[in-house]
Amino acid sequence: MSRANLRDVLLPARDGEYAVAGLVVLGWEDARTFVEAAEALGCPVILQAGPGFRRHMPIQVIAAMFNHLAENASVPVVAHLDHSTSKEECRIALDSGFTSVMFDGSRLELTQNIEKTSEVVELAREFSASTEGEIGFVGYAEGEPGNVTDPEEAGRFARQTGIDAMAVSVGNVHLQTEKQAIIDFDAIRAIESQTDIPLVLHGGSGISPETRRKLARETHVCKFNIGTELRMAFGSSLREVLAEDPVVFDRLTIMDRIAPAMREATREILRNISVA
């Protein structure tokens, strides 16, 4: 299956009443496991490289890793740059082979957000790549509070930027370790009255599986970003492996023992929101 971008996977998801997971990658083992889980269910997957990962691995290396997996996968795989605040970083990612970028102008005033996001959209189109933007501000657990998306601003943002997917703030919060987010369905409906663009919810780990599934079936939310939930699954499995075998030291052995639990956690996430 060839590499995919957000248009390739989100438009069918919106029209088919399901969603695609944007899974936050922190290493090769993560990325490989995520693709294996998607292949087992026959559904697309979005591999996401966030700012933390990019501080530890060059964009060019991440791109090569993602695209190697995509080119050998039996399902569509999107190589997505997450939360970039720099047009130049987006250019480097696209030059390196990323098929999708997110320009995060959510901290900017609306006019400036539209202007800068539009520039990235134009750049991405030169590479036949997709662009995600954010309107409103998705807050952080024990960090910056969120700013709820204004529906009219969302409509203007979508129309004037030409983005392929729009991240919104409707009760979702980044880095939640408990599934306690209360999603405002009325706010989503108001946004949908202004635009039919595929919607994205960052902070998907804080949204219950039941709510994710309802959103996927009943709204234009067709991408959930999920990272914390999988990091927690990794940490729990790691502790179990080390408790069972306190003298194990080889990284490859440890990672091989963790992989089954990570695959199952990923399959559970994908199964809940996908058509499979």
- Mean pLDDT in residue range 241-248: 96
**pLDDT at residue 154 in the model:** 98
CATH H-level, domain 6-269: superfamily? Aldolase class I (3.20.20.70)
Using pLDDT thresholds of 50, 70 and 90, give the confidence band for residue 58. Answer: very high
Q: How far is CA 231 from CA 70, 112, 176, in A?
A: 22, 34, 12
The yes-or-no verdict on residue 203 having pLDDT over 80 is yes
Helix (H, G, I), strand (E, B) or coil at 211: helix
Distance CA 260, CA 169 (A): 33
Which helix (H) or strand (E) segment is 176 a member of? none
The pLDDT > 90 percentage for the chain reads: 95
Distance CA 221, CA 212 (A): 9
Using pLDDT thresholds of 50, 70 and 90, give the confidence band for residue 240. Answer: very high
Distance CA 234, CA 265 (A): 9
Among 82, 104, 150, 164, which one carries the catalytic annotation?
82
The pLDDT > 70 percentage for the chain reads: 99
CA angle 133, 136, 142 (to 5 degrees): 110
**pLDDT at residue 133 in the model:** 98
- Mean pLDDT in residue range 48-74: 97
pLDDT digits 0-9 by tens, 121-134? 999 999 999 999 99
Average pLDDT, the chain: 96
161 is written with which tokens? 């930027």
- 94 or 142, which is more confident: 94
**pLDDT at residue 114 in the model:** 98
- How many residues does this entry show for the chain? 276
The yes-or-no verdict on residue 276 having pLDDT over 60 is no
- Mean pLDDT in residue range 34-61: 97
Q: How far is CA 82 from CA 52, 149, 225, in A?
A: 10, 19, 10
Question: Backbone phi, then psi, for 23, in 5-degree steps?
Answer: -100, 130
What are the extents of the domains in the chain? Answer: 6-269
> CA nearest 270: which of 198, 207, 202, 213?
213
DSSP character at residue 108: S
**pLDDT at residue 144 in the model:** 83
SS3 content of the chain, % helix, strand, coil (to 5): 50, 15, 30
Distance CA 61, CA 64 (A): 5
Using pLDDT thresholds of 50, 70 and 90, give the confidence band for residue 2. Answer: confident
Distance CA 63, CA 264 (A): 25
- Mean pLDDT in residue range 100-127: 98
**pLDDT at residue 142 in the model:** 84
Question: Are 41 and 267 in contact, with CB atoms under 8 Å apart?
Answer: yes
- What is the rounded end-to-end Cα distance, in angstroms, of the chain? 18
- Mean pLDDT in residue range 181-198: 97
**pLDDT at residue 30 in the model:** 94
DSSP character at residue 270: H
**pLDDT at residue 1 in the model:** 56
Distance CA 123, CA 42 (A): 31
186 belongs to the catalytic site = no
- Mean pLDDT in residue range 38-50: 97
The yes-or-no verdict on residue 214 having pLDDT over 90 is yes
